[in-house]
Structure 1
Amino acid sequence: MEKLSPFHLAIPVDNLNLARDFYNNTLELDEGRSSDHWVDFNFFGHQLVIHHKQKSNSDTAHHNSVDGKEVPVPHFGIILEWEIWQNFANMLSEKNVKFVIEPYIRFKGEVGEQATMFFCDPCGNALEFKSFKDPSQIFSK
C-alpha cells in the first residue's frame, strides 16, 4: 500500500463543550486550533473537526444489518494496528464507554480477519474503530 495522505473530516455536534471533552478526555486526542464554533483534533494523524450545529428534529438514526448486528450509518473511524486496537478497546471499556457494538472479531481465521467496535460520541456521531489481523488484507475479498 502506498503512503496515505491525511484526511480532513468535519462533523456536526450539538454541544461543543460536551463533544470537546469526549474527544479530548475519553478518546485522548490532541486538540489543535479552535474557535467558539469549532475545534480541530489530531485523529490518529488525520484532521477531525467538530462544528457546532443545532440539533434538528429530522436527525434520525439509521442502521444496516451486518453479521446480525445493527451497524449505525453514517459512521467514521480509523483502522489501527492489532495491538493498539486491543489497548484502545480496553481503555474505552475502563472508561465505561457505552458501545453500540461491543468489541469483537469478525471473520476469525479467514481472509480479512478483523477486530471492530462501534460507539457514539455524546452528540450521536457513530464511530467505528477496527483492526486487521493482516493489514495487507484490508481490501481483500
Structure 2
Amino acid sequence: MKNVTPFHVAIPVHNLDECRTFYKDVLGCEEGRSSDHWVDFNLFGHQVVIHYKAKSEEEVHTNTVDGKNVPVPHYGVVLPWDTFQSFSSTLKSKNVKFVIEPYIRFEGETGEQATMFFLDPAGNALEFKAFKDMEQLFAK
C-alpha cells in the first residue's frame, strides 16, 4: 500500500450548485477545473468530478452487510485511521445525516475497520473507511 495511485470517478448530480457546496464546504474538497456542467474536486488526493445529469427516479438499492443495509452503488476513500476519526467528527459537527453511522467492524479480528455511509445532496452514496492495519486491506 505504499504506492497509492489516485483514482478518478465521475458522479452524476441533478443539482450542481448544491453538490458543489457540499463537496467544498462539508467534505472540505479543494475545487479544481469546472464548467457549467461539471466540477473537479480533490477528495483526499483523488479526482472526483460531479457532472450534471437530470434527476432520476430510480430507487437506491441496498445489500445487507454486517446486519446493515449498505447502499449500492457507492464510492469513497480508504483513509488512515486517525484521519477517519477526525473526518467523521467533522461530519458529525456539520450535522451530516448518516445512512450508517461511523462504527468499527471486525473489532480485534483480521480486517478490523472503521466505516460510515452518507449521501450527497443528489442521493449518491459515499463510504469512507479506515483499517486499523492498512496491510490488512485485502486480507482474507
Q: TM-score range, shorter-chain basis?
A: over 0.9
SS in 2 for 1:97: coil
Within 5 Å, give how 1:43-54 maps onto structure 2.
43-54=43-54
Distance 1:128 1:83 in 2: 16
Structure 1 position 56, deviation (Å): 2.2
Q: Which residue of 2 aligns with 1:114?
A: 113
Distance 2:103 2:2 in 1: 28
Summarize deviations over 1:45-101 as a string: whole Å, max 9, x none. 1110000000123x2210000011000000000011111100000000000000000
Structure 2 residues not aligned, in runs of 5+? none
Does 2:136 align with 1:129?
A: no
Structure 1 residue ranges, 4+ long, deviating more than 6 angstroms after superposition = none
SS in 1 for 2:23: helix
Within 5 Å, give how 1:68-83 maps onto structure 2.
68-83=67-82
Equivalent position amino acid for 2:14 in 1? D
Does 2:35 align with 1:22?
A: no
Equivalent position amino acid for 1:72 in 2? P
Distance 1:89 1:112 in 2: 19
Q: Which residue of 1 aligns with 2:83?
A: 84
Equivalent position amino acid for 1:27 in 2? L
Structure 1 position 2, deviation (Å): 5.0
SS in 2 for 1:56: coil
Does 2:100 align with 1:101?
A: yes
Residue identity (%): 65
Structure 1 position 4, deviation (Å): 2.1
